[in-house]
Structure formats: C-alpha cells, structure tokens
Amino acid sequence: MNPKVFVFAAVLTIVGILGAIVLVGPDMQAPSQGNNNSVENAPTIELLQVELADLSVTKINERSATIEIAFEIFNPNPRAVIVQTMDYNLFETGFSSYEQLAGGTIGSRPEGMVEFGSNYYTLLGDNSIVLKKKMVIKNTASSSELWDSLQSEYENGESGSAKWWVYGTVYFNLSSMTSGQENTVPFEFFR
C-alpha cells in the first residue's frame, strides 16, 4: 500500500481532533464590565484571588540587597485556568511613593502560535499556587534612608521599619490557550 495514504490519514485525524477541540471550547465565561451580550447558558467563572504571601529582605550588604516576594493565587472555580503572567511593581513608601524600587513579571505570554517552552502555570480548580521572585537592589549613595529601612527589615522581619506598597495585574485564560478570552485581576497590597 502507498505510504502517502497513511500520512494523509494521520493528517486528517489530527485536523479532525484539533477541529473538535476548537468547536467544543470552554463553557464558562469571566465577568467583565461591558459583558451584557454573554452566552445565556454559560456559567460565569469567578476571578482568581491574589494574596501577598511573603515580602522579605533575605540578604543585605553595603553593595546590594536581595528581596524575595511571593504571591499566592487561588482558583475558586471548579475548572482549571492558565495563569499566563503576573506583572507587579514594588515601592518602599518610606523612601518614595512615586519611585519604583523594583518590579517585574512572573510567567510569560505566548506570542503568535502556542510556544512549547512557555512559562505559564496551570492552576487546577479549587487549588492555589505560590509564585515567587527574587530581586537584587543595588545600593546608591543617595539612598541611605532606604538602606536603613531594608537593614531594619532584614534584622526584624515584618516588624522592621520598611513600608511596602505592591500593585499589579494577573493575566489568565480558561483551560485552553486557543479559546476563551484573556481575563485580568488587578491587586494592591500595603504592608
């Protein structure tokens, strides 16, 4: 028998499976402000819940300080969601409430076709995940009061003199990267 027939049958099977996945799609929809034309039978999903799990100075010397930040994200829905990225900004408000101390992104968004090496997180229903990041802050001669606050935080933990402000956004989709809309959850913490 001709090997082209087997290749054609395999390609046809893969296209059929992908077509079925795209047609079935998710049956849940996230609430939004202007979402009045939603599907009548589709249940609404609840937004993810974000908590500041940890914010600590783990190492400090005269040249740099290492700050570790951890967020706990809880999925209150019965279905899994994909947490693509978490963008955050960190301020030490005793030093400056308008000059960002650090910030960044945890995770990555797929661009174009789905990337096989993407750094996103599948969060199962009624479960949580802790996302952590370490940041190194360089000491400058003009930031002695900031460095004193960081030193106090390192020595005394949460009872130190640093006053933290963290805000950002979590971006997530339903359990399929090819269907559903991108949903966002803004968050803000003071400590």
> Which range marks the domain in which residue 116 is found?
47-190
* Residue 116 in this model has a pLDDT that exceeds 80: no
Give a yes or no: residue 4 inside a domain.
no
pLDDT band at 180 (very low <50, low <70, confident <90, very high): low
Q: Poorest-confidence range of 77-81, 116-120, 151-155? A: 116-120
pLDDT for 15-52, tens place per residue?
A: 888 777 766 655 555 666 555 554 555 567 789 999 99
* Residue 185 in this model has a pLDDT that exceeds 80: yes
Query: What contacts 61, CB < 8 A, 6 or more positions away?
Result: none
Give a yes or no: residue 162 inside a domain.
yes
Predicted TM-score of the model (pTM): 0.74
Residue 48: C-alpha distances to residues 28, 54, 85, 169 (Å) = 14, 18, 13, 11
DSSP symbol at 184: E
Q: What is the CATH number of the domain that holds 180?
A: 2.60.40.10
Number of domain units in the chain: 1
Give a yes or no: residue 119 inside a domain.
yes
